[in-house]
Amino acid sequence: MNNTLDFSPEQFQKLLNKTSDLVIHQLSDLESKKAYHFHPQKEVESWFDEPLPKEGMNPEEVIDLFKELVMDTATNNVGPYMYAYVMTGGSQMSLLAEKLTATINQNVGKWHLGPAASEIEKRVVQWAGELTTFGKDCGGVMVSGGSAANLAGLTVARNIFFEKENIREKGLFGMKPFTVYASTEVHGCVDKSLMELGIGTNQLRKIPVNEDFTINLDDLKAAIKQDKSAGFTPFCVVGTAGTVNTGAIDDLTALASIAKEHDMWFHIDGAYGGLPACLKSIQKEYKGIELADSLALDFHKWMYQTFEAGCLLVNDFSILQRTYFKQASYLDTTLEEQGRTNFNEHYFQLTRNAKAIKVWMSLKTYGMKKLKAMIQKDIVLAHYLGEQIEKADDFELKSTSHLAVTSFRYTNGLTDEKAIDELNRKLIPALEKDGRVFITGTTLHNQFVIRACLINHRMHEGTVNYLLKVIREVAANLN
């Protein structure tokens, strides 16, 4: 009798075929599928109200259950009607690479646990530095996503900036408060990072933005000056290359020079908009990216990767080790060949999955020429959406940017501000219930707006027109 968890080869082959069929099923006819399947939370909870299984069941039935309860109800990120948040559709090579990577189950914490995977991670990091123009001799590490990349960047900033004070050993006790600067449009993960790092959000100065939602440089300079005279230590400027709300790209050159003048760390959150720095058409917006000390990126956003695939780049690889290294006898490398990169010494995690493999396989399969064309297409489509809105007399355009976020309101002839606000606030849950498209809202200059983010290579003008059509139809049925 087989005393392992393995299926017989025949059964495993059958199960692989069955799961492959499901993949094909899920990825076909995407334009005829809903973006969201509305079920009340209590109902979804009830599907999984079950005891811990004592005896196993037929794996084919488990896969059938997955199809029925999970796959058929899944929020359709892969389809072309997902406009909410920053949701990429993924790509088929990324999906295939996930499956192959899970098969070899590498732990990229130590080099000899994943030799090729470790080298691939180094290569992907360098490619990321090259394609973003951050610098191809940079160092870096793959992390779970944009939030983790920003947390890692700010951890490095704190530990290196205060290295002489032995901050890793002493902690923050007895230190003068140090301050961080970012615009009011900064992503919430920066606030969360400062909570985690013991710096505290009271030390995060949120600087007002200009009309185009980029950080106001005069206000930034004034805030630094005021903090200095009040006895604080200004320590880090966070620029955003692609804000989540509108895709605004801060003036990175100016931020770099302010950071330099005041001897501060310069970190860029490029989780949403860092990778499009590879596009010639908007490259000038990223001038100054190469001057940053650290850059957070997210391949699961604008490089069409399946979740999760974040990345932190730093201009000197050794500072990751100075931030994270912890000697441990069971991880000792003195008996090993020297020159190997053991990623656990350069990041918080010990066990790490091999996220870089899918990025490497995708970049090799599609090539930058094609990937750039897809990113450019998303941007063109976001502008196309803006144009359709401007042409229509029942919508009003609220924001566009160099990237692919377009914000608007449905007005339907209303002029009263309160009535328009109410209509748009009602539309969001109604659209969720309808499910044909998935879109959410945000607040810009204190006004509630509908926000469409287009980073899905499966979208085209027809799917964008469909968004407006569905909004009109759902609005018509509101009362």
The closest alpha carbon to 76, from 42, 144, 27, belongs to 27
Measured distance CA(5)–CA(3) in Å, rounded: 7
Among the residue ranges 142-150, 256-264, 361-369, 440-448, the one whose residues contact ligand PLP (CB under 6 A) = 142-150
CB-based closest residue to ligand PLP: 146
The closest alpha carbon to 187, from 293, 306, 310, 304, belongs to 310
Among the residue ranges 143-151, 168-176, 275-283, 421-429, the one whose residues contact ligand PLP (CB under 6 A) = 143-151
Residue with tokens 């926000």: 451
Considering CB under 6 A, how many residues would be counted as binding ligand PLP?
Answer: 16
Side chain identity, residue 317: F
DSSP string of 339-395?
Answer: T---GGGSSS-SS---HHHHHHHHHHHHHHHHHHHHHHHHHHHHHHHHHHHHH-SSE
Among the residue ranges 3-11, 139-147, 312-320, 405-413, the one whose residues contact ligand PLP (CB under 6 A) = 139-147
Decide: is 81 part of the binding site for ligand PLP (CB under 6 A).
no
Residue 153 Cβ vs ligand PLP, minimum distance, rounded to whole Å: 11
Residue 322 Cβ vs ligand PLP, minimum distance, rounded to whole Å: 25
The closest alpha carbon to 131, from 267, 251, 289, belongs to 289
Residue 464 Cβ vs ligand PLP, minimum distance, rounded to whole Å: 21
Residue with tokens 């989780």: 271
Measured distance CA(313)–CA(378) in Å, rounded: 25
Closer residue to ligand PLP, CB minimum distance, 379 or 470: 379
Residue 85 Cβ vs ligand PLP, minimum distance, rounded to whole Å: 6
Closer residue to ligand PLP, CB minimum distance, 146 or 386: 146
Decide: is 97 part of the binding site for ligand PLP (CB under 6 A).
no
The closest alpha carbon to 294, from 237, 217, 357, 224, belongs to 237
Closer residue to ligand PLP, CB minimum distance, 35 or 248: 248
Among 121, 250, 251, 269, binds ligand PLP (CB under 6 A): 269
Helix then strand then coil, % of the chain, to nearest 5: 50, 15, 35
Among the residue ranges 20-28, 75-83, 126-134, 267-275, the one whose residues contact ligand PLP (CB under 6 A) = 267-275
Residue with tokens 């301050």: 179
Residue 187 Cβ vs ligand PLP, minimum distance, rounded to whole Å: 3
H helices, E strands: number in the chain = 15, 11
Closer residue to ligand PLP, CB minimum distance, 286 or 410: 286
Side chain identity, residue 402: H
Closer residue to ligand PLP, CB minimum distance, 80 or 270: 270
Closer residue to ligand PLP, CB minimum distance, 181 or 272: 272
Decide: is 98 part of the binding site for ligand PLP (CB under 6 A).
no
Residue 141 DSSP class: E
Is residue 457 within 8 A of residue 444, CB to CB? The reply is no
Measured distance CA(268)–CA(314) in Å, rounded: 10
Is residue 310 within 8 A of residue 271, CB to CB? The reply is yes
Return the structure tokens found at 67.
Answer: 């199809």
Decide: is 285 part of the binding site for ligand PLP (CB under 6 A).
no
Among the residue ranges 146-154, 198-206, 212-220, 249-257, the one whose residues contact ligand PLP (CB under 6 A) = 146-154
Residue 308 preceded by cis peptide, ω within 30: yes
Residue 443: strand pairing partners: 448
For CA atoms 356, 360, 361, 365, the dihedral sign is positive
Closer residue to ligand PLP, CB minimum distance, 182 or 475: 182
Among 135, 145, 153, 276, binds ligand PLP (CB under 6 A): 145
Among 189, 207, 312, 455, binds ligand PLP (CB under 6 A): 189
Closer residue to ligand PLP, CB minimum distance, 278 or 296: 296
Among 187, 346, 352, 458, binds ligand PLP (CB under 6 A): 187
Q: Which of residues 307-346 bind ligand PLP (CB under 6 A)?
A: 310
Decide: is 272 part of the binding site for ligand PLP (CB under 6 A).
yes
The mark string for 216-255 relative to ligand PLP (x by CB under 6 A, - otherwise) is: ------------------------x-xxx-----------
CA atoms within 13 A on the CB side of 302: 33
Measured distance CA(203)–CA(234) in Å, rounded: 9
Is residue 286 within 8 A of residue 252, CB to CB? The reply is yes
Q: Where on the chain is the footprint of ligand PLP (CB under 6 A)?
A: 86, 145-147, 150, 187, 189, 240, 242-244, 269, 271-272, 298, 310
